[in-house]
A and B are shown apart, each in its own frame.
Chain A
Amino acid sequence: MLFISYAVASAQTIGTRPGPMQYPEALAPYNFKTALEMAFLKMPEAVVEESDTYRWPAWALDVFMGLPENIVAEGKITTQFINWHFQLGTKWQWSPVENVRTYVGVDYAYFMGGIGSSTFDNSNRSSFAYVNVSVGYHFNKITLTLKEELNYLLSRKDRAGDVTIRSFTNKFNGVTTSLYLEQEFWKDQQFLIGIRANYLKFVYQNWLLFPVSEVYYFVPEFVFGIRL
């Protein structure tokens, strides 16, 4: 709640400055930018079958804060109501040439999923590390950003009723390649459309459907966002 309050308050004071969200721009120390995202994940039909291929969207609140020495901190909360994913990390910003910006960073994430009903009493707790590099190009009114992320599954705990299984894996879990296109949308508002190509073994959004994680699944994610 503290995170959300802080983010909303920050958006109200700093949101006057338009600009892209995923584009790896520098932020002045202790300045913020905040974005709201909606993402749709499409699971492999061969695995989750027709009834589960499209599921409800994930909503995310993404907050960037400038720090000294071209460091940017990022905090992100993603939810599908039964799934909560908390992410926190830092990025170092660099501008090799005009109109090109880069981020290099590391994030830690903690995932909590749970479902309780007459037929389910399950939960999952997992932690991840994401090592990422972003490269963005600023056209006249549009930015195009490519982000490459290495995904490590650090730990996993599954529970079904009275049975709990824990594993500390520290396993390479795959890669995510993202492409974001951002531009002014309406009255200085920035609009984002993007695709995240996940090539992962364990896709946390579908923890209940993915019992075995030895095979890489290509799972595209379609992202829409607006800067607050």
Chain B
Amino acid sequence: MRLISLFIPLILVSSCTEGILLEVPEFRRGGFLSQTDDLPVSKAAKLEGVWEVVKGNEVFGDSVAITISGDRITVYAQPSVGYIVLETGVLDSVVFLQGYWRQQVNSNTGLADLYLPKFQGGGWVSTDSSAKPDTFLIVGTYGNGEANPEKDLVLRWVRPFSERAKQPFLVIAHRGGGRTSDRISYSENTVELIRIAERFGSNVVEIDVRLSRDGIPFIYHDSNLNPRLVQRGALVGPPENYPMKALKDFVTLIHGESIPTLEEALQTVVFETNLRGVYLDTKTENVGLVSKMIPLVQKAIQDVALVENRQPLTIVIGIPTQAVYDEFVSIPNHKLVPSLCELSLDQAIAINSLVWAPRWTLGTQDAGIQRAHNQLMAAVTWTMDIDEFIKEYVNNSSFDGILTNYPSLVKYYQLMR
């Protein structure tokens, strides 16, 4: 038995995955784009559509979808949840696109250096007068890591998006844009991640809201300050045990950011993005968090009017549990508060929710969705990350949106419809 007792310390080892810190590469000193003129969004929109991958199939598959995504042009690919995030510039009727590519379910990333030749699309895209060329190509190279891109990547225009692809669809990015464990560039549930969420195809972000000891709603997912999300620090246990100032001063998230307040997160959405929705996932129960969120939501909606050309914004308070539901119905005029109900459809109808959000695990639930639509209620499902199921639900279900850790993949299937 003594030998066996020596064996027991092995039990203390922990499970793990590959490291979670992965920096996407950048061109030094801004790359060649620093020498080009800006390409207006109206002209960049000519790139939107479905493209055939002539070279580079081993990474990007046989076809990709390109669309303006926030402040970038994004190339959406299917294999391994791949995408290329690009900035644009014009010089002498040649359109240049530079940025990085990434596959979100592994650690593959690198630089992408592309252009549209003057007579094969560059001239037509960058000016108003030229006729669209017969051959419309994006050519260039991509590489691995920080290395100079040297592998050929050639895309050939196939068609514009179908009418079905253009129909509104809610691509809801989990935790403000993705999970920390997927080695995204910023910690989940941060303003830094919300700022770039649109680049990965999302038009709505879901963020997790808790209530600090001094009554300030803040953004954090887990019920404890743990190594998954937080660098080693002085505070431990539930974050709700601490006042907001302590959380700000003594907690550093895994990529170096601070925990944002809900107000900071909503201000970021309103003033620094063009997102059309925010889903507030209510994490702290039975302490009046919902009542604290409502005025912040109302202020954010009012602020939208201050931003020129911003699309309308809808912010819904999530109701994930019966406890939160009970708290919600105790609020006067709660039926006027925009909400998203994850419970039964009957409960969603009873509180006049804007959105009914059942788990995807029950299937496509067409009858329930039809009933929700009859009540003028949207239906979205969560949290769906399996490629084949995403494809099936996007193409063959009546859901109005999908909450996912892989918004670029949902966007790909939406655009390829």
Contact = CB atoms under 8 A, between A and B. Distances in A.
Contacts of B222: 49-50
Interface in B349-388: 358-365, 384-388
A138 to B, nearest CB: 13
Nearest to B14: A42
A5 interface: no
Q: How large is the interface on B (under 10, 10 to 19, 20 to 34, 35 or more residues)?
A: 35 or more
A209 B117 CA distance: 46
B389 A163 contact: yes
Contact of A193 (B7, B360, B389): B7
Interface string B379-417: 000001111110011000000000000100000000000
A44 B15 contact: yes
Contacts of A46: 16-17, 20, 180-181, 228
**Which has the most chain A C-beta neighbours within 10 Å: B80, B384, B392, B393?**
B392
A165 interface: yes
B135 interface: no
Contacts, number: 112
Contacts of A219: 15
A160 B360 CA distance: 7
B306 interface: no
Contact of A215 (B15, B18, B223, B364): B18
B361 A183 contact: no
B3 A120 contact: no
A121 B361 contact: yes
A212 B361 contact: no
A83 B231 CA distance: 36
Interface of B: 1, 3-4, 7-8, 10-11, 13-18, 20, 80-81, 105-106, 180-181, 221-224, 226-228, 358-365, 384-389, 392-393, 406
17 contacts: A43-B15, A44-B181, A45-B15, A46-B181, A47-B17, A50-B222, A119-B359, A160-B360, A160-B389, A163-B393, A165-B389, A181-B4, A208-B361, A212-B386, A215-B18, A215-B105, A217-B15
Given A44-B15, A50-B228, 6 more contacts: A44-B16, A45-B15, A163-B389, A165-B389, A193-B7, A218-B15
Interface pairs A-B: 9 shortest CB-CB: A161-B363, A211-B385, A46-B181, A165-B388, A162-B363, A211-B386, A214-B105, A212-B105, A44-B15
